[in-house]
Chains A and B, each alone.
Chain A
C-alpha cells in the first residue's frame, strides 16, 4: 500500500512540474471557437463557426469592404454586368497561386462552380453542397481566357455579387480537390492570407502565414482555432490565459471582462433579425390592427436590456441596420405602448381567444428563446391577449414552423442571419414564398406591392436604385406588421489587451489578416 502511495505522489509531483502552459506564444493567435468545424471545404459547410476559419484560408472573387456589407474586388480585379443583368464578366487578378502552388485562373473558377452546381461533374460527389442554391441562378460559367471568366445567369439576380463574397463563393484549388476527393475538407488549399497547417480532431485547427499573399502577408505567424463547446469552459480558458480571442461570450459574463485592463471587449451589430412570425391567414392576427397591437404591447427595450443584457438592439423593421446602404433609417421601432395596444385590439375585434405560440429551446441566432418567449407571453397577457406557449427542440421546431403555421399556431419565434438585404424578405415575405411554394413565408403574408418591389430589386444592378426599393419595402412591411420586429443581435468577442488591430465585421466573419500580437 505504501509503495502505491509513493507511486501516486510521484505521479502528482510529475504532473505539477509539467511545463508552464497558460501563456500563448508571441505572433500566434489562439482563438476559442464554439465547436469543432465540420469541414474546411467552404462549399460543404453552413455554420458561422466554420466560416471564421475559412475566410482566412480562402478568397472569393469579391469580398465585403472592411466594416461594411458592401462588395469590393478580391480575386476578381473588376467586372462588368450586361444591360439585361444576366451576364457577369470578371477580370481576374494576375499572378495569384493557390497554397499548393497551382495557378489561380479562369479554369479554376469554372471548376469551382461546376463542381457545386453540375450533378454530372466528375467531382460533384465530393459534396454534398448544402448552400449551392445561393448560385442556382448560374446557368453556365465560361473561361473566356486565362484571366477572364463569364457567368451566364438564367434571370437578373442582383445579390449575385454579394453571394460571391459569402463563404459558399470562396475559391478552392481544383488540384487539391482532385487529389483528395472527399477528404479535401481536411486537406484544404486556397489563396488566402493563411495556409492550412494541421487539424487535430477535437483539439485544434492550425493555419500558418502565407508569405506570398497577394494582399500583403499577415503579421501573425499562425492562428490556432480551438473548439470549446461549453461557454463556461471557454471563459475559464480565457481567464486562465490560454486563449487570445474568444467569440460569442454569454451576456452574463461580458461584465467580467468589461473594465478589466487585461482584456478588450468588442461588439458589432450584424445582419441579424429576431422576430415573431404572425399567422396572418387565420385567427386574430389576420387583422392588421391586432398585429400592430402585438408590436406595441411587447416591451422590446426590456427584452434587449434585461434578458439579452445589452447584447442586441431593438429592431425597427424586417431589414437589419447592418445593411447600411439598403436600410431605411427613417423607420422608428414600434414604441412600447400598452394603452395603444389595448385600443388597437378593440378596433381589430379581438375576442380574447387563446393564441398558440411556438417557442424553441435553442438554435442558431435564436439568442435566449425560452426566456424571451416567456417575457413576450407576459407582455401580451398584460394587454389582455391569452397566450399558450408550446416549446420544441430546434430541429423539431423547424419541422413545425417551416411548413407553415396554418391550423397549428398563431405565432412563432424566428431569427435569420443573411448576407444580402434581398435574402430574408425574398424568402420569407413574398406571396410567392409561401411554404407550399418552397419558401419560408410561414405566416402567409401577402402584399402585391411588396412582391413587386422585391422582384424589381433583383433586376436592378445599380446599388442606389436597389436601396430605394428595399427602403420602400421596409416602410410597407413595418406598417403591415406581418411580424413582431424584436431585436438585432450584436456579435461580441473578447481579446487579450495585447492583441492589435482586431475588429469584428458586420458580416459576422472573423477576418484576421491584419491582426498582430507581438507578445
Chain B
C-alpha cells in the first residue's frame, strides 16, 4: 500500500508540471497584461512598457517560465502584482478557507445524502421515500447561487439569525462558534446539489443490494432488520457510492467559486477569478498549482479508502 501511494505521488509530478506550462501558455495567449489591468484608462503603450519593465515582465515568456520554476523549487512563489503581497501567503490563506467550506460541505452532503438514500431505499414508495425524492429533486435542480441568495434573504436579512457574508465577525469573534455561525449558510448551499446526487445514488445502490440472495439469507437466519440494513446492505452499497463522493469532492471544490462570491467567503475560487481578470500571472499559477495538487491528493485518498473497504480491490 505504501509503495502504491508513493508511486501515485511520483506520477503526479509530471501532471503538475504540465499543468503549470498550460496555465502559463494560456495566460500568455489571452489578450491584455497585468500592466494594462493595473493602469486601466491610463494604459498608454509608454506607461505599459515602463510598468512591465518594473514588474519584470519584459523578458521572453520561456525565460519567465524558467525563472518562475526555479523560484518555486526554492519555495518562492513570487509576489502578486495586484495584491502586492507574497503569492504563497495569499494562496495558503485562501485555500484553507476553501478547505473549511468545501470540507464541511462534503461531510454534510455525505452524511445527509447517505442517510436520505438509505431511508428512501428501506421505505421504498412510502411517504418518507416520496418526500425525500421530492426534496432531492428540488435540491439538484436549483442553481446553488440562487439558493444562496434565498438563504441570505431569509436567514440574514429577514430573520437576522445568520450573517450574510464573511468568515468571521468584524469585531469580537474569531473563535469556533463564530466560524460555525458564518459557515452554516454557505456550507448548506454548497452541499445541496451533492447531497441530492449522493442520496439518489445511495437509494439505487441500496435497492440493488437489498434484492440480493445473501440479504434474504440473513433475514431468514433471523438477523435483526437494523443489522441487515446497516451491517450487510449498507456496507456493500457504500462501495459503489464512495467513488461518487470522491467525484462530488471535485464538484464541491469547483462549485465553491460561485458560493464564495455570493457569501464573500475568502476562498481560493474567488481569488482565482479575480486574479485571472487582473492578469495576475503568478497568483494564478500559484493558485492553480495548489488546487491541482489537492485534487491529486483527494483522488488518491478516495482510492485508498475504497481499497480499504472493498477487499476485492486489494
Contacts and interface: CB of A to CB of B under 8 A. Distances in A.
Interface of A: 1, 4, 8, 11-12, 14-19, 21-22, 25, 28, 30, 35-36, 38-39, 41, 44, 46, 127-128, 130-131, 133, 182-183, 185-186, 201-204, 224, 226-230, 232-233, 236-237, 239-242, 363-365, 393-396, 398-399, 402-403, 414-417, 435, 438-440
B15 interface: no
28 contacts: A1-B230, A16-B161, A19-B178, A21-B163, A38-B84, A39-B83, A41-B84, A46-B40, A128-B51, A182-B79, A201-B85, A201-B89, A202-B93, A203-B166, A226-B170, A228-B165, A229-B264, A233-B152, A233-B164, A233-B263, A237-B165, A242-B163, A242-B164, A363-B40, A364-B41, A365-B41, A395-B279, A440-B44
Q: Is chain B's interface secondary structure helix, strand, loop, or mixed overall?
A: helix
Contact of B180 (A14, A39, A398): A14
A12 B164 CA distance: 17
Contact of B270 (A22, A229, A232, A241): A229
B93 A398 contact: no
A133 B44 CA distance: 11
B166 A226 contact: yes
B171 interface: yes
A237 B164 contact: yes
A15 B184 contact: yes
Interface in B93-114: 93-94, 97, 111
Contact of A130 (B30, B38, B166): B38
A229 B181 contact: no
B262 A232 contact: yes
Contacts of A15: 162, 177, 180-181, 184
Contacts of B274: 35, 229
Interface in B203-252: 230
A227 to B, nearest CB: 8
B32 A396 contact: yes
Contacts of A439: 44
B96 to A, nearest CB: 12
Contacts of A30: 170
Nearest to A134: B42
B279 A241 contact: no
Contacts of B230: 1
A1 B115 contact: yes
Contacts of A36: 83
A398 B262 contact: no
Contact of A128 (B54, B93, B153): B54
Given A239-B157, A395-B37, A201 B181 contact: no
A303 B30 CA distance: 32
Contact of A25 (B85, B90, B171): B171
A400 B168 CA distance: 42
Which 4 A-B residue pairs are closest in the complex by CB-CB distance? A395-B32, A202-B266, A128-B54, A18-B181
B157 A240 contact: yes
A417 B160 CA distance: 38
B169 interface: yes
Contacts of B171: 25, 28, 224
Given A203-B166, A236-B156, A365-B41, 10 more contacts: A39-B84, A131-B42, A230-B262, A232-B262, A233-B152, A236-B152, A240-B156, A364-B41, A395-B31, A417-B41
Contacts of A14: 177, 180
B78 to A, nearest CB: 12
Nearest to B162: A15
Interface in B32-51: 32-33, 35-47, 51
B149 interface: yes
Contacts, number: 163
Contacts of B173: 19, 21
B311 interface: no
Nearest to B152: A236
Nearest to B53: A128
B177 A186 contact: no
B82 to A, nearest CB: 6
Nearest to B183: A15
B30 to A, nearest CB: 8
B58 to A, nearest CB: 12
Contact of B47 (A130, A185, A228, A403): A130
B153 A399 contact: no
A203 B266 contact: yes
| Max chain B Cβ within 10 angstroms of own Cβ: one of A11, A14, A18, A36 | A18
B36 A398 contact: yes
Contacts of B177: 14-15, 17-18
B110 to A, nearest CB: 11
B261 A130 contact: no
A39 B82 CA distance: 9
Nearest to B44: A438
Interface string B130-168: 000000000000000000010011001100111111111
Given A18-B177, A395-B32, A204 B165 contact: no
| Max chain A Cβ within 10 angstroms of own Cβ: one of B111, B181, B264 | B264
Contacts of B308: none
B75 interface: no
Contact of B165 (A16, A186, A233, A414): A233
A411 to B, nearest CB: 17
Contact of A229 (B33, B79, B93, B261): B261
A399 B36 contact: yes
A486 to B, nearest CB: 16
Given A232-B149, A395-B37, A398-B36, A242 B170 contact: yes
Given A201-B90, A232-B262, A224 B40 contact: no
Contacts of B166: 203, 226
Nearest to A201: B93
B13 interface: no
Nearest to B169: A21
Nearest to B172: A19
Contacts of A364: 40-41
Nearest to B153: A236
Contact of A202 (B37, B94, B157, B277): B94
B9 interface: no
B55 interface: yes
Contacts of A435: 45
Contacts of B94: 202
Given A28-B171, A236-B157, A237-B164, A398 B43 contact: yes
A203 B31 contact: no
B261 A398 contact: no
A230 B264 contact: yes
A182 to B, nearest CB: 8
Given A28-B171, A38-B84, A229-B270, A398 B40 contact: yes
Contacts of B35: 130
A346 B161 CA distance: 65
Contacts of A363: 40
Contacts of B36: 395, 398-399
B119 to A, nearest CB: 11
A324 to B, nearest CB: 23
Contacts of A131: 42
Interface in B62-89: 79, 82-85, 89
B31 A396 contact: yes
Contacts of B33: 395
